[in-house]
Amino acid sequence: MGTVLWQIGRTGETVPEYVLNYAENQTADYPTTLGAYRFAELVERQTNGRIKVIVQPEAELGAEKEVLRQMKYGGIDFARISLSQLAELIPEMNALQMPYLYRDSTHMWEVLSGEIGDYFLEKAGEVGLVGLSWYDAGVRNFYTSQKQITCLEDLQGMTIRVQESDMMADMVEALGATAVQIAYSEVYSSIQLGEVDGAENNWPSYKAMNHDEVAKYYTVDEHTRVPEMQLVSAHTWEKLSEEDQEIILECAKESARLERRLWKLQEKQSQEKAVKNGTVVIEISDEEKERFRAAVEPVYQKYCGEYMDIIERIREL
Ligand code: GCU
């Protein structure tokens, strides 16, 4: 647990009983960070200042992989983490982020808000974490610095940055490119230095991290939706009273509702701003998307062979 302070009881002074940290790798004005700030504000208010949550954005506490490692031992209390990273520890989570799995955002939210979503929040318990809520991260697309991606053939021979995730690397390789796993904060420089030809992400990340400055061709192939989870370390959780746990869960859900609303707005605004700054948007026909979809089929065998029942349930929803 971050720090524990004790009530010193001077009149009129609110001294928190718990001061807990919250890791976030996005910028301060990003929807997930604004969700985190709201969470902190709600928790403080509803515990009358007994619990204070300090949000540390911009990967101040480290890259997601490192944050997860620290949470296991209680060195970091809360975090919002991309499912790609979590699936490295709990392989079954891949079933929620497979390429071309969801028809659209509504379909994904139907899955996350129902039994399947609850099942996976609970699954976090297997690695010393407690899943609190789901955050939106939209849909991911490719973007490149020199050569546009207009069809599957254009990806052949390219080097593309992916998250530190084997599934994501295999997905990109199945599409014909070479994948390189690089932490989020290093993407800008690796494109700028020409170490990779491009990367893939949603509109808000592309804009917030200024990737549009170094990779102006943005291809809307919508290859994957990767949801995000708000988590607390089980070490921290176990030290809190049941009453406080309930407050935290409620505040997390409330913050997630705000994040989803902000996400929609920022997705649109980021795209508009990028286009205004010179981003070239390349649309892909449904026929071509079908070819992308067929190319990634083997990745399902490799990562979801054992979980095809969940994949089927998701598809049927
Ligand atoms: C998204 C996600 C981040 C993640 C990033 C990445 O932006 O919100 O948590 O680190 O993708 O591509 O690494």
What does the alpha-carbon distance between residue 207 and residue 274 come to, in Å, rounded to a whole number? 6
9 pLDDT band, cuts 50/70/90, is very low
Helix axes 297-304 and 166-174, enclosed angle (nearest 10) = 150
Please enumerate in sequence order all residues whose Cβ is within 8 A of that of 276, keeping only pairs 6 or more positions apart, or say none: none
Quote the tokens at residue 11. Answer: 């009149």
Determine whether 297 is exposed, middle or buried from the number of CB atoms within 10 Å of its CB (0-12, 13-18, 19+).
Answer: exposed
Task: Please determine, for residue 3, whether its predicted confidence score (pLDDT) is greater than 90.
Answer: no
Average pLDDT for the chain: 95
- At which residue do the structure tokens 């998307």 appear? 289
Q: pTM of the prediction?
A: 0.95
Give mean pLDDT, residues 83-98.
97
Q: What percent of the chain has pLDDT over 70?
A: 96
Closest ligand 1 atom to 163 CA: 13
**Dihedral sign (CA 121, 200, 297, 176):** negative
What does the alpha-carbon distance between residue 233 and residue 213 come to, in Å, rounded to a whole number? 37
Task: Please determine, for residue 98, whether its predicted confidence score (pLDDT) is greater than 90.
Answer: yes
Q: How far is the CA of 273 from the centre of ligand 1 (A)?
A: 20
**Residue 226, number of CB atoms within 10 A of its CB:** 23
Give mean pLDDT, residues 229-239.
98
15 pLDDT band, cuts 50/70/90, is confident
Task: Please determine, for residue 67, whether its predicted confidence score (pLDDT) is greater than 50.
Answer: yes
1 pLDDT band, cuts 50/70/90, is low
Task: Please determine, for residue 299, whether its predicted confidence score (pLDDT) is greater than 90.
Answer: yes
Task: Please determine, for residue 4, whether its predicted confidence score (pLDDT) is greater than 70.
Answer: no
Task: Please determine, for residue 214, whether its predicted confidence score (pLDDT) is greater than 60.
Answer: yes
- Characterize 105-135 residue by residue with b for buried, 16 or more Cβ atoms within 10 angstroms of its Cβ, and e for exposed: beebbebbeeebbeebbebbeeebbbbbbbb
Q: Is the CB of 30 under 6 A from ligand 1?
A: no
Three-class secondary structure of residue 218 per DSSP = strand
Closest ligand 1 atom to 25 CA: 9
Give mean pLDDT, residues 120-125.
98
What does the alpha-carbon distance between residue 158 and residue 154 come to, in Å, rounded to a whole number? 8
Q: Is the CB of 137 under 6 A from ligand 1?
A: yes
- Residue 152's closest CA among 297, 294, 302? 294
Which of 26, 85, 168, when mutated, tests ligand 1's pocket best, judged by the most ligand atoms within 8 Å of its CB? 26
13 pLDDT band, cuts 50/70/90, is low
Q: Is the CB of 165 under 6 A from ligand 1?
A: no
Task: Please determine, for residue 8, whether its predicted confidence score (pLDDT) is greater than 70.
Answer: no
Q: How far is the CA of 184 from the centre of ligand 1 (A)?
A: 6
Task: Please determine, for residue 205, whether its predicted confidence score (pLDDT) is greater than 50.
Answer: yes
- pLDDT the model gives residue 12: 57
Question: Which amino acid residue places its CA nearest to atom 10 of ligand 1?
Answer: 184
Give mean pLDDT, residues 180-196.
98
- Residue 97's closest CA among 10, 166, 148, 157? 166
- pLDDT the model gives residue 14: 72
Determine whether 75 is exposed, middle or buried from the number of CB atoms within 10 Å of its CB (0-12, 13-18, 19+).
Answer: middle
What does the alpha-carbon distance between residue 81 and residue 91 come to, in Å, rounded to a whole number? 15
